[in-house]
């Protein structure tokens, strides 16, 4: 099929950017979206033009690197089920003659590096501020010596599936990273090993989130609707409960 791509081109963070249109012929319906971008770059290289810069790594929906906004939606909401990453989106979801707009994440905390590549190191700083435990778990068998209730273990595992892609931030009208932050907080909050720093952790991570320029959460829900790992809004509710509890405690112990 033949498609028209309108891609955001920006040489560097300090430069002005603009949408540039490209025509692509013979696009296979079995291609992934990133393979289609590879095809575009091969065409541009053959024309001795600068290829489009975009992030990618595993191309298996695990690493979270491939995030772009496709026709106004982070990762593109075309596949069934909706929860998908850009690398797992296939061109069979588009039609001959389609015009597809591709942009980088739009958020103050994610400055554009080049074209579709943004700097998501703000997420790393949030994790560094409190996403760790001080408990010595020893080897793998030793870790099993502290049992966790099944319901809490399941909630921890669900939160741990967050891949830090940033789609939640790109979808939020306020550019909030609360879904990501809450996933990292509730992951540890539901495990026995995460209890010693539970309240110190949440204060540190939420403060870092705000200091880095992420917006406030208003529970609009766009974040959860585009999350490729379907992290629920419930994790933000737990974050808020723990944050309120932490305001009455300064020792890091659980309530």
Average pLDDT, the chain: 92
Final residue of a structural domain among 114, 133, 154: 114
Final residue of a structural domain among 67, 82, 114: 114
In the prediction, which pLDDT does 78 show?
Answer: 77
Q: What is the pLDDT of residues 45-77, one digit of tens each?
A: 999 999 999 999 999 999 999 999 999 999 998
**Cα(94)–Cα(1) distance, integer angstroms:** 9
Structure tokens at 22: 């490209």
Peptide bond into 242 cis (omega under 30): no
Do residue 108 and residue 163 come from a single domain? no
Do residue 17 and residue 92 come from a single domain? yes
Mean pLDDT of 100-106: 97
Q: What is the pLDDT of residues 22-39, one digit of tens each?
A: 999 999 999 999 999 999
Final residue of a structural domain among 114, 139, 155: 114
Mean pLDDT of 186-199: 91
* 17 or 145: which leads in pLDDT: 17
153 domain-assigned = yes
In the prediction, which pLDDT does 254 show?
Answer: 42
Do residue 166 and residue 62 come from a single domain? no
The structure's pTM equals 0.91
251 domain-assigned = no
| Reported confidence tier of residue 99, pLDDT bands at 50, 70, 90 | very high
Do residue 52 and residue 106 come from a single domain? yes
In the prediction, which pLDDT does 91 show?
Answer: 95
Phi-psi category of 215—alpha, beta or left, where left has phi over 0 and alpha has psi -120 to 50?
beta
Do residue 7 and residue 22 come from a single domain? yes
In the prediction, which pLDDT does 252 show?
Answer: 45
The CATH number of the domain holding residue 56 is 3.10.20.30
The parent domain of residue 174 ranges over 120-246
Contacts of 146 (CB under 8 A, 6+ apart): 137, 192, 193
Q: What is the pLDDT of residues 122-153, one digit of tens each?
A: 999 999 999 988 877 667 666 667 788 899 99
* 224 or 134: which leads in pLDDT: 224
Structure tokens at 184: 């990292």
């Amino acid at each position: 099929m033949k498609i028209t791509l309108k891609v955001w081109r920006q040489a560097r963070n300090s430069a002005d950017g603009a949408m540039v249109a490209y025509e692509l012929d013979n696009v296979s319906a079995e291609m992934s979206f990133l393979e289609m971008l590879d095809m575009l770059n091969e065409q541009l290289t053959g024309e001795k033009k600068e290829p489009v810069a975009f992030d990618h790594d595993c191309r298996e929906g695990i690493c979270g690197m491939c995030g772009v906004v496709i026709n106004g939606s982070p990762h593109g909401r075309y596949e069934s089920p909706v929860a998908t990453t850009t690398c797992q989106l296939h061109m069979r979801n588009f039609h001959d003659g389609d015009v597809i707009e591709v942009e980088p994440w739009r958020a103050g905390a994610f400055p554009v590096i080049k074209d579709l590549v943004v700097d998501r190191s703000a997420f790393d700083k949030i994790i560094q501020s409190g996403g760790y435990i001080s408990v010595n778990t020893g080897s793998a068998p030793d870790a099993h010596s502290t049992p966790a209730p099944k319901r809490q273990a399941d909630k921890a595992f669900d939160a741990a599936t967050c891949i830090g892609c940033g789609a939640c931030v790109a979808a939020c009208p306020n550019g909030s990273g609360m879904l990501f932050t809450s996933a990292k907080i509730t992951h540890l909050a539901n495990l026995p090993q995460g209890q010693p720093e539970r309240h110190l952790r949440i204060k540190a991570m939420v403060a870092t989130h705000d200091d880095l320029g992420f917006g406030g959460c208003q529970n609009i829900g766009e974040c959860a609707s585009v999350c490729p790992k379907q992290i629920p809004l419930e994790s933000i509710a737990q974050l808020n409960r723990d944050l309120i509890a932490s305001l009455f405690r300064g020792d890091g112990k659980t309530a």
